[in-house]
Amino acid sequence: MANDDSGAATHTKMLRPAKRETTARRTRRRRDPEGTREAIIGAAREVLARDGKEGLSVAQVAQRAGVNRGTAYQHFQTREQLIEATADWVSRTLYRAAFGDPEVARDQPVETIDMEALTEHITDFAMENPELSRIWLFELLSSRRPASDPFWQQYWSNLEKFSKTDLAQPNIDTEAAAVLILGGTFLWPVWARAHARSAKERQELAERFSREVLRLCLHGTVRPEKFPEIDAHVSKKGRSKRSER
C-alpha cells in the first residue's frame, strides 16, 4: 500500500507542471491587444477632454486605462501618437453622427442630403464634445494630408459635388467654405461654455448657431447688388479659382 501511495504522489507531482502550463496557455489566450488599444484610446479621450493636450502623457493614460506603462508604450510610443489616434476616433465618430453608415453615405446623391439635419448633427456633436472636437479640428487644419481624415473627406467632397449642381451659388471656394463653417462650428462651444448656465441654455445656443449657419448658406450677410465692386471682385476671384482646378 505504501508503494501505491508513493506512486500516486509521484503521479500528482508529474501533473502539476502540466496544470501550470495549461493556466499559462489560458492567460495567453485571454490577451486582447485590440481591446487593450481601445482601452488606452478611451483613457486618452478622457484625459484630453479634461486636461487638453498639455495634460496628456502616455504614463498617465496607462494608469487611467489600468494597464502597465510597458504595455501602453507597445501601442503608443509618444503622446503625439495618442493624439493622432484620438483625432481619428473623433473623425470616425463624427462621421457617423453626421452622415450615418459610411457604406450608405459614400454613395448618397448630394441633392438628397438634409442640409438642416446635417448642420444640427455636427453642431450637437461639437457642443457635446467641445475639447475633443477642437483637438480634432487643429489636427486636421495642421495636417499635410487632410484627405486621409474620414469626416473631412466626406464633408468636403459633398460640398464640392454640391457646388457643381444648380442648387448652389456660383464660384464657391469649397475648401475655404468648409474650413470657415467647421472652424466656427467647433469654436462656438467656447462661447457657449462661457455664456450658458444650464443644459437647456447650451441647447438653445446650439440651435442658434445652426440657424445662423443655414442663414449664411442661404443668403450670406450682405446684398451683393449694394456692393457691386466687392461682388465683381469676389466673382472674378471665384472664376479664376475654378479655372485652376
From the list 35, 139, 125, 126, the residue with the least C-alpha distance to 82 is 139
Between 169 and 207, whose confidence is greater?
Answer: 207
Q: How many CA atoms lie within 13 A of 226 on its CB side?
A: 4
pLDDT of 240 = 59
The arithmetic mean of pLDDT across residues 74-87, rounded, is 95
Q: Are 61 and 82 in contact (CB under 8 A)?
A: yes
Provide the 10 A C-beta neighbour count for residue 142: 8
pLDDT surpasses 80 at 75: yes
Q: What is the reported pLDDT for 21?
A: 42
Average pLDDT over residues 229-239: 73
Residue 242 has pLDDT above 80, yes or no: no
Position 107, amino acid: D
Residue-level pLDDT at 20: 46
More confident residue, 17 or 166: 166
Q: What is the mean pLDDT of residues 80-93?
A: 96
- The Cα 209–Cα 129 span in angstroms is 16
Q: Is 15 a residue whose pLDDT tops 60?
A: no
Residue 131 has pLDDT above 60, yes or no: yes
pLDDT exceeds cutoff 90 at 108: yes
Closest CA to 146 of 157, 158, 131: 157
Please give the backbone phi and psi of residue 171, each rounded to the nearest 5 degrees, phi first: 65, 35
Instruction: Return the pLDDT at 71.
Output: 93
**Predicted structure pTM score:** 0.79
Backbone angles phi, psi at 220, to 5 degrees: 75, -165
Q: Name the least confident of 16-20, 29-33, 144-148, 203-207.
A: 16-20
Return the percentage of the chain with pLDDT > 90, whole number: 69
Residue appearing with cell numbers 462651444: 189
Look at residue 45 in the predicted model and tell me its pLDDT. 95
Question: In terms of Cα–Cα distance, which of 167, 177, 208, 171 is closest to 191?
Answer: 208
CA distance 136 to 130: 10
Instruction: Write the pLDDT tens digit of every residue in 194-224.
Output: 999 999 999 999 999 999 999 998 887 677 7
* Burial (Cβ within 10 Å: 0-12, 13-18, ≥19) of residue 152: buried
Which pLDDT band holds residue 164 (cuts at 50, 70, 90)?
very high
Confidence of residue 5 (pLDDT cuts 50, 70, 90): low
| Domains located in the chain, CATH noted | 80-244 (1.10.357.10)
Mean pLDDT of the chain: 85
pLDDT at 238: 54
Query: Alpha helix locations (H) across the chain?
Result: 2-30, 33-51, 58-65, 69-75, 79-99, 102-105, 115-128, 130-141, 150-163, 174-195, 199-219, 228-244
Query: Which of 22-31, 38-47, 53-62, 186-195 bottoms out in mean pLDDT, i.e. has the lowest?
Result: 22-31
- pLDDT given for residue 7 in this prediction: 52
Element at 168 (helix H, strand E):
none
